[in-house]
Amino acid sequence: MQKLIKIALSLGLLLGMGAGVMAQERVNIYSGAAPGSLGSHPDIDNPFLLVFLPVSATPDTLSSAVIICPGGGYAALSMDAEGTNVARSWQSHGVAAMVLRYRLPGQDYPHPAPMLDAQRACRLVRSRAGEWHLNPKQIGVMGFSAGGHLASTLETHFDAGNPAAPDPIDRVDCRPDFAVLVYPVISMKDGIAHVGSKNNLLGPHPDPALVESLSNETQVTAETPPTLIVRAADDKTVLPANGDLMLAALQKAGIPSALQEYPSGGHGFGWGRKPDPSPPRLARRRGAMADGTGIDLVFRRSARGERVV
């Protein structure tokens, strides 16, 4: 199990783009109106998943899956470079991927709407594991920038489901089995937080208790899943303290974790941008990761608290 989780953590993140693969399905994550819905606009009020299933998945060959949370400062969503392009890469290498179009504070859905959407998405994917030929114990989350904050919120704010819920999906566990956080916002604390993301999510004068709760480096426990953090050293948008504090909390709790830091690439390099601003060393590692030769190195070094550069 641990080996499979390690492969899932590194595979989709460090491989090249796939070609000729498309989303098979758009799935609304709620059976009816979303909690607190303000209307019925299909792209604002009704959060959904774009589902990319690998063609190789069968009842006898269960796939891992990853829910992708695009970034955009909780004001917009980078659905291509941090969403569908990433999903195609996972899909082309045999991993199911689901891009989450979550509700946005910038469109009148402040906290807890994004968190509720991420929790519901995880429950939904796990509930459909049989239909989609997924291993229900290998369902992770991946997030970019503010989407990284949402992914880290999911991995630190989960529950086992409500057995008394009338909707059977709400009875399902929403803990992800692994997390990949790419140039993530983690903290909501002054001096560390990305100001735009914090203001959009919590407003200008948030309750200090809410700031603490959503500073996810303070919420790590022994139940937090294995986590990989990726960033470029020259990121001028999200302070490195976000990743540093999260890694320290994960290491203190004994969670398998690693920080992969590249010398250049800035913020928001995503997948498939033209021209491609992603870190050069990221591209050079894709072949090695494809056959598994750098995967265990990440976790052997992370066990000693080292950065992987």
Whether the upstream peptide bond of residue 275 has omega within 30° of 0, thus cis, is yes
> Encoding tokens for residue 14?
């460090």
- pLDDT mean over 48-62: 86
| Distance between CA atoms of residues 308 and 305, nearest Å | 9
Per-residue pLDDT reduced to its tens digit, 93-113: 899 999 999 999 989 999 999
Backbone angles phi, psi at 60, to 5 degrees: -95, -10
Count the alpha carbons within 13 Å of 87 in the hemisphere toward its beta carbon: 25
Write down the pLDDT at residue 271: 80
| Distance between CA atoms of residues 250 and 252, nearest Å | 5
**Cα Rg of the chain, angstroms:** 18
> Encoding tokens for residue 34?
């979303």
Strand partners, 172: none
Domain that holds residue 181: 2-308
Residue at 172: amino acid letter: V
Per-residue pLDDT reduced to its tens digit, 66-93: 999 999 999 999 999 999 999 999 998 8
> Encoding tokens for residue 20?
């000729």
* Alpha helices per DSSP H over the chain: 2-14, 85-92, 113-127, 129-132, 146-156, 195-202, 208-213, 241-252, 280-290, 295-302
Residue that wins the pLDDT comparison between 275 and 119: 119
Q: 37, exposed or middle or buried, with CB in 10 Å at 0-12, 13-18, 19+?
A: middle
pTM: 0.86
CATH of the domain at 253: 3.40.50.1820
Backbone angles phi, psi at 143, to 5 degrees: -140, 150
SS3 182: strand
The total domain count for the chain is 1
- pLDDT mean over 130-154: 97
Q: What is the DSSP string of 127-140?
A: HTHHHHTEEEEEEE
Whether the upstream peptide bond of residue 225 has omega within 30° of 0, thus cis, is no
Residue that wins the pLDDT comparison between 58 and 10: 58
